[in-house]
Amino acid sequence: MKQDAILLIVLLLCVASVPAETDTIMVLERNAVDASKYVISQTEMPIYELITPEVNETYTELLARSLTPIPEISAEETEYGFVVNYLNQTFEMDRRDGSIWYADYDKIWNVALGIEVPTPSACQSTADVWLREKGLLPSNAVLKNIGSTNVSAFNPDADELLTKVLQWHVNYEFMVGDIPVAGETAQISVMIGEGGDTVGFDWKWRDTAPEPYVTSNLIEYESALDAHGINPEDVVDHRLVYKTDDEDGALLLYPMWEVIIIEDDSDELPGIHNIVYLDGTLFNPIVEITTPNHGISMMPGSSITFDCSVSLGTPPYTYQWSSDFDGVLSAGQSFTTVSLSEVTKKDYPVPHAISVRVRDAEGRGASDCIAVTIETVDFEMDPQITLVVAGSIVLVVASLLVFRRKKGGFVLLFLLMMLSAFMFLPVSFASSDMATLRKLSPSAPSGAYDDGVKEVGIEWVGMSDLGSPLWNTETNIEGFYNWMGTQGGFNREFNWGEWSAWEEDFKEVAQGGTDTEWVDCVDFVYYQDHGNPNGVSFTSQHDNGWLSPSEMRLGDGDLETIVFDACSPLAWQNDAGDTVFERWAQTLQGLHQICSFATTSHNAQTRGVKFAFYMTGIQSLIPSRTIVQSWFRACAETEGSEIQAAVFYASKSADPLNFPQLDDPINDHAYGFGYVCSDPTPGTFSWYVFITSNC
């Protein structure tokens, strides 16, 4: 009897030891695709293979002389095609898709021009005649719109606003039957500026094979929304389009539902503008991670099994599991690991974004993502549970006295106690081999401000935005980061992605932020996620899920250029009528320029590396361009013509829209690749300048 009582008391005390509470990052719920909700119509949609034209040195030289003022100059071969350079003009052809780019960089996006620009209708007539004469207007190309490059300069002291059009963009889209091809896939843009000169053009189209590659029945639009958990009331616009995969040289043209939505429009969180593409047929596979549950937290060394299910597409499938911290984890459909790193940022546990990317036999892809946190949890006595246990001991002893002569009484109580123990132990025990486990806790940049060392950092959200994932973000932004490191010579200081990207890293110290430890410790920062005219979003909720311009004071440390690759942070006005000057002026505290968008934008896969490539160029082959020129070109090649790229900066020039612009960010290059102006700190400038350019 005495031994039984002692055993039960010890058992109760063990139950009273529970893990201490720790600060964790809030992880949002998943919104997996439910393919069972698809309604399949009787309409068969053809999927086409694209024919890539042959591009060689002779053909490039012939077109350069025929289409531009460039004289007879030899083409130089690059990794992806051929280029002809003459003075400050460039003509390029890409062998992966036959696309053409031409620009006269003395004239294109030049804020000192725009004095005598023809009317839009005159520019359209000029473009039509020229394209037909040169054989560059296929029968399935139709006029889409006429865009422009505009510049506005505002002097708040004098309350003076100057505006002008620098060039008109005559834009054409392609049709497959009566269905348009998405602009980032195929389009023609002819840019006509000062004196009616063609200052640039962007031409991208590949013919389709005569017969469809395959056909697949159309998914009804309403059922596609339902399967993806999209509320129809959040939809601003939609259309059925043809598009290709985002990587250069993609070979298939297939139907997708292009949907523009506004999410989370409430008093607590501003509406987020987003363009999403939903499968138009059952041609593409769908993958869902089935094990473990999203948002779990485990002790270091815990055994975790990952599994997924794949439907649709064409078997067999290939798999790649990865972590945004630990890299590639497995190439199987399922696997078990005990070695996920414990990751902390400023002593807070950060979840891994565990993703699986699937390819089917046709090369079609699908992805899914969950959060898994690895954290060490200290065990301590919980006072409340201890008090409960103390009272329970009396009850246990009394019960033993009652049941001491009844067979099975002790066994019954013992089983009840074991059940209680499992109810109070929700954590997984770590394995005994803790010495081999990694713990990642990257430190902030340590370099001194303006110490002559070139530094770059990135923060991004991609698949962790589970309700509206941005599948291309990681590839895009790390392409930029790695190019700036390997080719640009920049020190890569921080790469915070998914749930480790924090709003406070951008926020000024006076408002509770830590910008002096992160973004203002480096020269160049690239951010990517969702946004709207009032700011940009994060999934980490640390310490907020939303960042507004009023919370930032950038450039009073090291930062000189920042990219917000998101929908419409630099829109001309927000819903309250506040202009871009009113929202963003106070942010510039030495910052040279903000590169972003004035409209919605797409989640491109190659914009970042293109941007970096155009800033650095290739020595003796492709000249490096200014930051403004590089941003506008990268956007023109990765967006449709209805999208407006934008740049915002402060100018020291007395007349920022006329020559000469002295000590002015409009002339800035990436460090080491040309001129860089001095920091435009408050008191040293009078004008704010805002440029938008249709892509």
pLDDT at 467: 77
Q: What is the pLDDT of residue 446?
A: 65
Residue 300 has pLDDT above 50, yes or no: yes
Q: Which of the four pLDDT bands, split at 50, 70 and 90, describes residue 93?
A: very high
pLDDT in tens, 162-189: 999 999 999 999 999 999 999 788 999 9
Contact at 8 Å (CB) between 12 and 423? no
* Contact in structure between 659 and 114 (CB atoms under 8 Å): no
pLDDT above 70 covers what percent of the chain? 84
The pLDDT value given to residue 14: 40
d(C-alpha 204, C-alpha 637), whole Å: 9
Does the pLDDT at position 422 exceed 80? Answer: no
Contacts of 120 (CB under 8 A, 6+ apart): 146, 148, 168
Selection from 301, 155, 171, 308 nearest residue 654 by Cα = 155
Strands (E) across 413-539 are located at: 439-440, 455-460, 491-497, 524-528, 531-532, 535-537
Measuring CA to CA, which residue among 624, 490, 500, 477 is closest to residue 564? 477
Q: Could you give the CA distance from residue 185 to residue 182 in angstroms, rounded to a whole number?
A: 5
Tell whether the model's pLDDT for residue 570 goes beyond 60. Answer: yes
* pLDDT reading at 413 higher than 50: no
Cα 378 from Cα 389, distance rounded (Å) = 20
pLDDT at 429: 34
State yes or no: pLDDT of 571 exceeds 90: yes
Residue 48 pLDDT greater than 80, yes or no: yes
- pLDDT number for residue 659: 86
* Average pLDDT of the segment spanning 212-239: 94
Q: pLDDT tens, 471-529?
A: 899 999 999 999 999 999 999 999 999 999 999 999 999 999 999 999 999 999 999 99
Above 90 in pLDDT, residue 411?
no
> What is the pLDDT of the chain when averaged over all its residues?
87
Joined tokens for residue 107 = 């004239």
Give one DSSP letter per residue of 605-658, joined into a string. Answer: SSHHHHHHHHHH-BTTTB----HHHHHHHHHHTTS-TT-EEEEEEEE--SSTTS
Q: What is the pLDDT of residues 606-642, one digit of tens each?
A: 999 999 999 999 988 899 999 999 999 999 999 999 9
Q: Quick check: 427 pLDDT over 70?
A: no
Write down the residue that tokens 């049709």 correspond to.
175
Please return the burial class of 20, using the count of CB atoms within 10 Å of its CB with bins 0-12, 13-18 and 19+.
exposed
| Least confident range of 38-52, 127-141, 396-410 | 396-410
Tell me the pLDDT tens digit for each residue of 357-401: 999 998 888 999 999 999 998 655 445 544 444 444 444 444 444
Asked whether residue 20 carries a pLDDT value surpassing 80, the answer given is no
State mean pLDDT over 36-49: 96
**How much is the pLDDT for 273?**
74
In this predicted structure, which of 411-425, 476-490, 546-560 has the lowest mean pLDDT?
A: 411-425
Tell me: pLDDT of 424 over 60: no
Task: Give the pLDDT band (50/70/90) at residue 346.
Answer: confident
pLDDT of residue 661: 86
So what's the pLDDT on residue 272?
A: 74
- Residue, of 530 and 390, whose pLDDT is higher: 530
- From the list 483, 514, 513, 478, the residue with the least C-alpha distance to 496 is 478
State the pLDDT at residue 363: 86
Separation CA 519–CA 191 (nearest Å) = 36
Give the model's confidence band at 29: pLDDT under 50 very low, under 70 low, under 90 confident, else very high.
low
pLDDT of residue 445: 79
Mean pLDDT of 565-569: 96
Cα separation, 457 vs 464, in Å, equals 19
